[in-house]
Amino acid sequence: NPEYEQAMSSFVKALLNRGPGNKFLNDFVPFQQRIARLGAWNSLSQTLLKLTCPGVPDIYQGTELWNFSLVDPDNRCPVDYALRQDLLAQVRAWHSAADQDSIKPFMENPGKPELKLYMIWRTLCLRKHGGELFQKGDYLALAVQGAKSNHVVAFLRTWETTQLLVIVPRLLAGLLQASDTPPTGKRVWQDTHVLLPPSRCAEKYRNAFTGVEAFPEKADGREKMDMAELLAHFPVGLYVAS
């Protein structure tokens, strides 16, 4: 129905026209920006879970970077592999050593695709060098206590003497009041703590994304770790016990 399709196309173009008289767009853009930012944080959480939970992770072709599909990505779509290879080469060159300074550009502009690519690269490096942990290791869900305990997924992957602590935020729209606030630091997490089993608690854990070391503290006969420290500089946590 060409007449109907033309009317629909014209309607959409009018909605997205950036003219001064477009009241809809003025209302819509702030909402879209908030949803996009929350979607980015959620995407990091889901991707890290996919790469560290029991099972074999799968990544749709091209979704190593941000993907704005309203449905599952289509693996038949063309992928700009040259762009992804260039970005990966840059990330590996700029951030060969995980530290706080190396991730500052990502956190200052989380809309750039390097943030997601960096997280995937670091995690896959761990999988490559710790195959038995991911193939045969145990999965142990961890309890969380505190004001924001409902907004945390935390678990351990263990194999013999190897141990990996995974921390991700959830239900981020309810957690974050401002669209430009990342799920990091004391202001967000307040008194929230992850509880560790004493029998499997290591002396310290090193963040694979930032290089920062975190130390469990003993309180009320239990070992626990402060969420504000675990997610002080990066929106998800991947900690290797040492």
Run means of pLDDT, 10 residues per run, the chain, 242 residues? 95 88 87 89 95 91 85 80 94 72 76 91 91 91 95 95 94 84 92 88 89 86 90 94 86
Q: State the pLDDT at residue 50.
A: 96
**Residue 79 Rama label (left phi>0; alpha psi -120 to 50; beta):** beta
d(CA 164, CA 140): 10
Mean pLDDT, the chain, whole residue set? 89
214-230 in b/e form (b: 16+ CB < 10 A) is bebeeeeebbbbbbbbb
pLDDT given for residue 100 in this prediction:
66
- Using DSSP's 3-state secondary structure scheme, residue 171 falls into coil
pLDDT at residue number 98: 61
For residues 96 and 125, give the distance between their C-alpha atoms in angstroms, rounded to a whole number.
12
pLDDT value at residue 207: 93
Quote the percentage of the chain above a pLDDT of 90. 55
- For residue 97, the model assigns a pLDDT of 63
Task: Provide the pLDDT for residue 178.
Answer: 67
- 90 phi/psi in degrees, rounded to 5: -65, -45
CA–CA gap between residue 156 and residue 138 (Å, rounded):
8
Report the predicted TM-score, pTM, of the whole model to 2 decimal places. 0.88
pLDDT of residue 96: 64
What pLDDT does 77 receive?
81
Given this model, what pLDDT does residue 179 score?
A: 60
Helices 114-129 and 100-108, interaxial angle, to 10°? 140
Query: 3-class SS at 102?
Result: helix
